[in-house]
Chains A and B, each alone.
Chain A
Amino acid sequence: MAKIVVVTSGKGGVGKTTTSAAIATGLAQAGHRTAVIDFDVGLRNLDLIMGCERRVVYDFVNVIHGDANLKQALIKDKRVDDLYILPASQTRDKDALTQEGVERVLQELSADFDYIICDSPAGIERGALMAAYFADEAIVVTNPEVSSVRDSDRILGILSSKTRRAEQGEPTIPGRLLLTRYAPERVERGEMLSVDDVREILAVDLLGVIPESKAVLSASNAGVPVIMDVESDAGQAYQDAVARFLGEDRPHRFLTVPKKGLLGRLFGG
């Protein structure tokens, strides 16, 4: 039985797809069979971030409609073993994701995988609700910025009331916060909400903090999940987050501005 994990945020552009790609890749690198599904019907993008856009033949909606089977639609990652991508459809039919269809696909994947990562679209419409509905765990991606934090709180509310677990009266899914685009120097100047501020407002566990980093754009330019850029701060922060997700206790890094003394310059921050 796979563990189903939704990566969600409410607000768009905060890093859901970047995070889905990174976490899925990290889990697969740790030896877990992982499938990552793009739930953003109409606006397929996970394939680009994962660098497999030219290998898309069938998609999620094709599988739901029975036009293709899972084996035909799943794209095997060329770099990491045990990593598979199920791309979103580019149909404009927003009702293409039926609850029964999604459930059937997740069940079928469940038999064969350890983790299923559901990359949610922005908003609180059907696609987002479907991505969250069957989840066992949730990663809430948030930027240290007012509208993102407010939307995350909204999403946490939905996770606690509108998922299958909630409807069946089971313990609701523990949403965990992943704070992205964090700029410690701006936090120190009082220009940006600190990680403690966001934690205090949202009152959830912290999975990780990803620093604002040039590596994220470079990685998406190249179609390589940023977690594979092991030299970069963002890549390392995602590796920490994956380790924590798997139960390891790791201290949070990249929360403060590296000291710029002579020694710091000589030996790197």
Chain B
Amino acid sequence: MSFFDYFRAQKKKSAQVAKERLQVIVARERVTRNGPDYLPLLQEELLAVIRKYVEVDNDAVTIQLDREGDCEVLELNITLPDGRGR
């Protein structure tokens, strides 16, 4: 019994896991929520273009839409892998 308890104590509580997962997904979904409808598609197509040249993960491209005064700023972040392209 105590043997199993040892492993149980190491495990993160499931509520904590839930909270962390939610924080990530909610933050991601909020970015595109108030933006134009084409944002998710734009993101997808950019990813496709980048993949022609480099092997990247699904979340390698992040798009952030900010408002500065009268201007909307589209911030694009592309994380390239450590190694070279293929």
In the assembled complex, 17 residue pairs joining A and B whose CB atoms fall closer than 8 Å, in A order, are A145-B18, A146-B21, A146-B22, A153-B26, A153-B29, A157-B29, A157-B33, A160-B34, A189-B13, A191-B15, A193-B19, A194-B15, A197-B15, A197-B19, A200-B19, A201-B22, A201-B26
Contact (Cβ within 8 A) B25 A150: yes
Bound: A161/B33 CA distance, A: 9
Contact (Cβ within 8 A) A154 B29: yes
Residue-wise interface mask of A (187-198) relative to B, using a CB-CB cutoff of 8 A (1 in contact, 0 not):
101111110010
Bound: A51/B46 CA distance, A: 55
Give the 7 A-B CB pairs with smallest separation, nearest first: A190-B13, A157-B33, A197-B19, A153-B26, A190-B15, A146-B18, A201-B22
**Contact A193/B15 with A157-B34, A161-B34, A201-B22 known, Cβ cut-off 8 Å:** yes
Contact (Cβ within 8 A) A201 B19: yes
Bound: A192/B17 CA distance, A: 10
Q: How many A-B residue pairs have CB under 8 A?
A: 46
Q: Indicate the size class of the contact surface on chain B.
A: 10 to 19
Query: Would you call A14 an interface residue if the criterion is a C-beta within 8 Å of the partner chain's C-beta atoms?
Result: no
Q: What distance in Å separates the Cβ of A135 from its nearest Cβ neighbour in chain B?
A: 19
Residue-wise interface mask of B (4-18) relative to A, using a CB-CB cutoff of 8 A (1 in contact, 0 not):
000000000111101
Contact (Cβ within 8 A) A201 B23: yes
Query: Would you call B86 an interface residue if the criterion is a C-beta within 8 Å of the partner chain's C-beta atoms?
Result: no
Residues of B contacting A: mostly: helix
Bound: A39/B26 CA distance, A: 27
Return the chain A residue nearest B33 by Cβ. A157
Contacts of A192 in B (CB 8 A): 15
Residues in A145-196 with C-beta less than 8 Å from chain B: 145-146, 149-150, 153-154, 157, 160-161, 187, 189-194
Contacts of A160 in B (CB 8 A): 34
Bound: A187/B16 CA distance, A: 10
Contacts of B34 in A (CB 8 A): 157, 160-161
Contacts of B19 in A (CB 8 A): 193, 197, 200-201
Bound: A149/B23 CA distance, A: 10
Contacts of A193 in B (CB 8 A): 15, 18-19, 22
Contacts of A149 in B (CB 8 A): 22, 26
**Contact A191/B22 with A153-B29, A153-B30 known, Cβ cut-off 8 Å:** no
Residue-wise interface mask of B (23-59) relative to A, using a CB-CB cutoff of 8 A (1 in contact, 0 not):
1011001100110000000000000000000000000
Contacts of B18 in A (CB 8 A): 145-146, 193, 197
Most buried by A among B13, B14, B16, B18: B18
Bound: A192/B15 CA distance, A: 5
